[in-house]
Structure 1
Amino acid sequence: MAPVGCRAGWWLAGPPSESGYRQKPGGHTSEASGESWAKLGGEAGLKTAPRGATRLLARPAPSPASLARQAPTGRGKEGEAPPKRAGPAQRRPARGTSRPLPRRRRGGGGAWGSCWWGWRGRGGREERRLGSDFFAQPCVSLAKALLGQVLARRLADGRAVRGRIVETEAYLGGEDSASHSRGGRRTARNAAMFMAPGTLYVYQIYGLYFCLNVSSQGEGAAVLLRALEPVQGLEAMRELRQRQRRGPARPPRDWQLCNGPSKLCVALAIDKSFDRQDLASARDVWLEPGPDAPPDARVVCSARVGIRGDWAHRPLRFYLRGNRSVSVADKAAERAAGEAPQDGPQAAE
């Protein structure tokens, strides 16, 4: 480093092309002589060459004006204030552009952001997850209790999507001829239906789509989730739905994102890998309590969709009256149950 107050001391560490001097590897010294050193030493206020300096090239010494220009810039010129440190507004531009880098935002709601009813989670906490006790009830009771609850899913890219359950179907197993476990039939495909309540049963239809079920109490009994009302991550749901479609198609509206058992699996990126997972402890999918339980007057009981045979007309489908996200509305069953107010702004559209 140059001595304090030495304006010409920069040449001790500077390259030869700038000063013509550098430190000898052996550590010994030789004095520079001649007119060039007299000028340089006079400018620097020195009478002899500093220890360890040697002249490498016979070239004229730099002028005082060039020394002043090349001197260290730690201080400003005499009478001027020192330069300010670069602040957030003076950040260097990104490589290849002249615009400054954007400021980094502070705060936020963690990996999943803010929940749709005002609850904020940080770091992926799941305090509102419903536990195993919730699922430990008979199939019909569970199918009704699931209405109004929120199915949450964390996608592979970290985004969270949530939907309020608005339609379910109960499959009782045993004598239920429409159930995959009818007559106690147990296979590798439907093994999840015989596992502990709250186990996910995911099966494929037409070789393309998936359906999501939740096991309940009862041998081989499970509840099919038929429709969700999207409440968070609608753009992510729309991207997943559009990616699954073939050819140009009109983007689905908000209430059309999850208004069917296979549609909700596509919108939440649920496939066969979720089969046999415990909804009470799974990492990337779980159930949260809804903001309020729907009153019984708004729950419609009707026949299941697409069922034939003796059990075709059993009232084992349950949905929230007036909600647009319901896959199929049964007007006859609604008239039989009487009139009731519609379910929020979605139903009024």
Structure 2
Amino acid sequence: MQKSRRLTKTNLNVSCKEMALYLLGKVLVRKLDNGSILKGRIVETECYLGGEDKASHSYNGRQTPGNEPMYMPAGTTYVYFTYGMYFCFNISSVEPGAAVLLRALEPIQGLEIMKKFRTVKKKGPLKDTELCNGPSKLCIAMNVTKDNCNKIDLTESERLWIEDDGGRIEATQIVNCRRIGIASAGEEWAAKPLRFYVLSNAHVSKRDKKAENDLIS
């Protein structure tokens, strides 16, 4: 496998859907204040298109202090608080108001540290496949919060960035299906195939059996 290289502004200056697909197989890197490095391979993403996307925080051009990162240059982090207790981590794309949600990682470095972060919220032992298999779980495991990782330029930050280590996900390995937890947006937008994940990867948050069957049939 090739030497890892950090993604640049050019790599991330792309459309929301293109970014969601491109990020699969890339490595999210988090450097903690004590110098420890945590790494996880991105295995699941979702698109939030802004504009007419009723599931997006920027639907119909909505702009607030909270969703400001969605309108910042592509490659800017957007971390938001949900359900009054969890964080979710997104990356702005080239379209104003559009962003990619990271839904799951496959942990590859710093697993013991991730387990310590996770067990603060969840008592008892965790399997490696349970560490980052959901958008809020990965934030807890990687110590990503709105206070420490919001509005970050991923191409310049020393605390959070994305690397390409040569891992490649072929199109035949990518499951394309509906997003999760957005029923309130209405059936039209809830049904749009804007979630992407790596087929047969044990670290994804939730499998879509029908979409998998369609892919392999």
TM-score for the superposition, normalised by structure 2: 0.95
Q: Comparing both structures, which one devotes a greater share of its residues to strand?
A: 2
2:109 corresponds to 1:235: no
Deviation at 1:291, TM superposition (A): 2.5
Judge conservation of contact 1:164–1:290 (CA < 8 Å) in 2: no
Amino acid at match of 2:178: A
- Structure 2 match to 1:281: 156
- % same residue: 48
Deviation at 1:197, TM superposition (A): 0.1
- Structure 2 match to 1:253: 127
Question: Deviation per CA, 1:181-231, whole angstroms, max 9, x where unpaired?
Answer: 000000000000000000000000122110000000112000000000000
Written as runs of structure 1 = structure 2, the 5 A alignment for 1:58-207 is 128-207=5-84
Which residue, out of 192, 197, 203, partners 1:325? 203
Judge conservation of contact 2:24–2:197 (CA < 8 Å) in 1: yes
Give the unaligned 5+ runs of structure 2: none
Which residue, out of 193, 208, 214, partners 2:91? 214
* Structural RMSD (CA): 1.3
- Structure 1 match to 2:189: 311
Deviation at 1:314, TM superposition (A): 0.2
TM-score for the superposition, normalised by structure 1: 0.60
Distance in 1 between the 2:106 and 2:165 partners? 12
Larger radius of gyration: 1
Amino acid at match of 1:140: K
Distance in 1 between the 2:26 and 2:166 partners? 8
Amino acid at match of 1:337: L
Specify which structure has the bigger relative contact order, considering alpha-carbon pairs within 8 angstroms and separated by 6 or more residues: 2
Post-superposition, which runs of at least 4 consecutive aligned residues in structure 1 deviate over 3 A? none
Deviation at 1:325, TM superposition (A): 0.3
Q: How many residues align?
A: 213
Amino acid at match of 1:272: K
Deviation at 1:244, TM superposition (A): 2.4
Amino acid at match of 1:258: C
Give the unaligned 5+ runs of structure 1: 1-116, 120-126, 340-349
Deviation at 1:158, TM superposition (A): 1.4
Judge conservation of contact 2:37–2:109 (CA < 8 Å) in 1: yes
